[in-house]
Structures are given as structure tokens and as C-alpha cells.
A and B are shown apart, each in its own frame.
Chain A
Amino acid sequence: MITIEDIHYSYASNIEALKGVSLTINDGDFIAIMGQNGAGKTTFIKHFNGLLKPTSGIVRVNGVETTKTSVAALARNIGFVFQNPDNQLFSETVEDEIVFALKNFGFDKETIEQRVVWALDFLSLTQYRKTSPFLLSGGERKRVALASVLAWDPNTLVLDEPTIGQDHEQKEKLQQFIMQLQSKKKTVVMVTHDVEFVAECNPRIILMRDGKIVADGIAKDILTNSKLLEESSIVLPQIAQIFTKLCPLGLPANVINMDEAETTILSHVKKEGE
């Protein structure tokens, strides 16, 4: 559990990036943090594992204040996957890349072997175990980065812009993968611009603007609130766009994903037919 109480954060240049943010993230939550560039999203999530310490206010991870412990100790519980896998890959083989963090956290040899095998399998990378990560494609490198974090089995996974630069198929894989983590009761927090991806994943949404949280709620409510989204320069997901226009038919306006769209329209057609 992560509790954040009224945190402020200023960079050395005296720009206040966070202006009083409070939030409680419970175990097993699935959260998407959205908002335009400069809203403070990345600054915010960097407080979860102590990469940044608040200028004022308190961040507690499982009851421990982040100012009173190290990034390494916090990272044991909170896995952080950065936007660009190339910012972390450095090993000669995919296997070594995964072993790196496990060694840092002081796991024993047997456990390391076990975890490596498991992580490679979970992200379908087993065939690349001895390959250099630099020879893999963009999507595969992203999966190596994910595997290298998942391997130590953190309770919470923080993903920064996971869909950027990914094609359709890779996004679908990513979605399945997040759903699997959810079913294992892991906490997942992602920062993203990708409304379509969020609409399909259906998380709780935290909308940030200008260093503050301006909305916190379920995807269905927030992604159909065109006024709120417009203020954050976010476009409505396509399905929501269609249903906003279908209002005169008496259909619900808060439909955001494909499956629901299909059943809603078909049941409406059936009713009309009768």
C-alpha cells in the first residue's frame, strides 16, 4: 500500500512540479495516471520508490516513509519500468540483464535461476536467453526490460508510457500481460497518453493537471467526460465518441470499450425489432 499525503515537489530551478497531491494506492489496484505533458505525472510516480523525495508532505510505502529508507530497499517492493528500454539494457545476454537486479537484491543462486526461467517464460523470451538484448527488436527489448523487473516479483509495478513506440500487436500483448498481473493481485500503476489503450484496459484513472490531481474515478466516468478531458488536451476514445453521438437514440453515453459497444448496440437493435 502506498499512501501519499499532500506532497509538494520543486526542482532546483524553483519550478513547482507538484502542488499538493494526496493519494492512496491499495494492494491490487490498477491505476492509469493521465494528463498532458508537464502535468507532473512522471515527477509524481518517481516518489513511489524514492527516486524523488517530496519537498514537503509524506510518502509511505507499506507504512515506511520514503525519506527514511533507500531507493534499493523501496525498489524491492516497487518495480519501475521506464519508457525506453534502451535506458536500462546493458548486459551481454538477456539472461544477464535479468540476473542484474536479482544479484543487487541479494537473492541466492537457486532462486535466481528459478526466477530467470520464470520471467523468460512469462514474457515468451526463453528462446532469446543467450542472445544480446541489443540484437532484439524494439518490442522484444521492451519485454526484456519488463522481465528484468518482474523477475524479483515486486508487489507493485509502475509503468511509464508502456505503449509508446509499440505497434498494435505489441500493445495487445501488453494488455494481456497487465491482465495476468492483475489476476495475480499485483498493483499496477501506469502513466500513459494512450486513451485507446486505457479504454480497453479499464483501470481507475487519476487525471493530473498543473501539479495537482483534478479527477480520480473509474474509466467509464472519466473517459466520457468530454469537458474534463478537453481541459487536459485529451481526446475522447473512439468508442466514446461514437456513443456521445448516439445519445438521441437513448443509448448510454458511457461506453468506452469494444465488447460493451457491440453488446449495447445489438441489444438495442433487438429491442427495437420487438
Chain B
Amino acid sequence: MSVFDGLKFRKVFSPIHNLDPRIKFIYVIAIFISAILFHQILPLAILFLIQLPFVFMARVQKQWVKSLRGAAFLASFIFIINILTKFFYNNWTLTAFDIESALGMTMRFIVLVESFSVFFLTTSPDHLGLALEQSRIPYEFAFAFTTAVRFVPVLAEEAQTIMDAQKARGLELEKGNLLKRIRNYIPILIPLIVSAIRRSLELAEAMESRAWGAAKKRTNLYLLKLHKGDYILIGITTIVLIITIYVRLFLFNSIPLISSFFF
């Protein structure tokens, strides 16, 4: 059961969850671009901080911390690699500036992870599916996305049942050397694949029976409309972009270094 517990989506309502996913996505892209344009700690720290209100308004602090913790390993990896290369190129010496620029690279990565995790933590799959349906991409893709989300918990549950069924016939997954262990999964994979194929056939049959492909232009039960919050977010996104471009063009070289405060 625990396997698919985390995969079930739950409906949560908050001002952030209610935002149009399309606008939220544009915002994430804006943050993404801004983060790439800077390598100094100060602007990146600001980009990091301005997203915190979103996290708190959406009340996803716990999951958000979890996703950052997940990224911690990769972040420290980036930091170490940066330090090592600097160390190597500077003939085995390391300056405060080097450390700062390595920290900047790490910070950039954290900002990117942060913005994407806010997006995915606050956008329910049906909302996202709807946004896909109402953007210009072909409907088949949007349909594939929502169906995948719909069936992930079902398949996870099925995988668990299959595992139980084979264990009950004496299969020991953890037994033997590496090769044997991989082979142990065959009795689980085959029923899972066979059932997925059977399932997809039945789905296709049901879709056909409900007039799949009848009209050239499909309609939609729901209409995504922009609300007040969405306009505010558009405003915020624009301001972030304007400031970013302005600072990048005219103030880029006068951004103070943190290390300059100390030396």
C-alpha cells in the first residue's frame, strides 16, 4: 500500500492552487530565465526569497522542504565539482571569490528546483491536464497525460498485488546475486505488462464507444478563465522580468560580492 500512497493526488484549495496553471508556468519560466542570467549570490538569493510567500500561501512547506532536501545531494555535488575545478585551474589555490562563485552556481540550481517544485506541488494533475487541453498542443497529448495520471495509482496497486501473489508462491525477491535478483522480477513484470496491454485495449474500446474522433473540433466541459489572482501573478512576473533585464543590462557589474564585505 505504501508504494502508491505517495502517488495519489489530493485536492487542496489555496490561492496558489487556484491559479491558472498556464500563468504559473510562465512565472516559473521567468524565474528560470532570471536565475540563468545571474551567477552572483545576491540576486539569486533574492530570487530564492521572493518565492517563499508562494510556498507559505499554498501551505506546502513540508513537501517543499522535502523536495529541497531531495535536491541537497545534487546541490552539494555541484558545489564540490565547482570548487575542485577552480582549485585545479588556479594552481592549487582557492580564493574567497572562488568559493563565492561556486556557491552562486549551487544557489542557481536550488532556485530552479525551488520554482519547479512550487509549480508541481501546487498544481493538481486535473488542472494541469485541463491547461494542456486548452493550450495549443494536440488533444491527444493532453489525453495521454491525464490518462497516465489516472492509471498510475491503479497500476501501482496492481504491481503490489502481483508482488504479493508471487511472494505467496515462494518467490524471494532479495535472494541470490545481482543477476538472479534482476531475474526475480520477471514473474512480476510479465503479468504487469500483459495486464497493461489488456487494459489499454479495453480503454481503446471504451473510447471508441464514446465517439472518440467524431468531431474535428472537440469542446470542453470546463473553461479555464483568468481570475484576479492570475492577473496579479502576471503583474509580478512582468515586474520580475523588467527588473531582471534592467539589472542585467545596466547594473550587472556593480552587483556587490558578498566576499567584498569581508575583505
Contacts and interface: CB of A to CB of B under 8 A. Distances in A.
Nearest to B167: A71
Interface string A72-98: 100110011010101111100000000
B3 to A, nearest CB: 9
9 contacts: A11-B2, A46-B164, A72-B167, A72-B170, A76-B170, A100-B169, A104-B170, A104-B172, A148-B169
Contact of A104 (B5, B158, B161, B171): B171
A163 B218 CA distance: 42
B166 A88 contact: yes
A82 B2 contact: no
A161 to B, nearest CB: 12
Interface in B169-190: 169-172, 186-187, 190
A13 B198 CA distance: 30
> Size range of the interface on B?
20 to 34
B137 interface: no
A51 B1 CA distance: 11
Nearest to B198: A86
B162 interface: yes
A51 B167 contact: yes
B194 A134 contact: yes
B207 to A, nearest CB: 22
Interface residues of A, number: 28
A7 interface: no
A12 interface: yes
A12 B169 CA distance: 25
Contact of A75 (B5, B162, B170, B186): B170
B85 interface: no
B1 to A, nearest CB: 5
Nearest to B187: A90
A148 B164 CA distance: 15
A2 to B, nearest CB: 15
Nearest to B171: A104
Contact of B165 (A72, A88, A152): A88
A87 B195 contact: yes
Among B168, B171, B191, B194, max chain A CB count under 10 A is at B168
A177 interface: no
Interface string B193-209: 01100100000000000
A272 B1 CA distance: 60
B161 A87 contact: yes
A187 interface: no
A90 B191 contact: yes
Contacts of B162: 87-88
Given A11-B2, A11-B5, A87-B158, A105 B191 contact: no
The 5 closest A-B pairs by CB, nearest first: A104-B170, A90-B190, A80-B168, A12-B2, A101-B169
Contacts of B187: 88, 90, 100
Contacts of A89: 191, 194
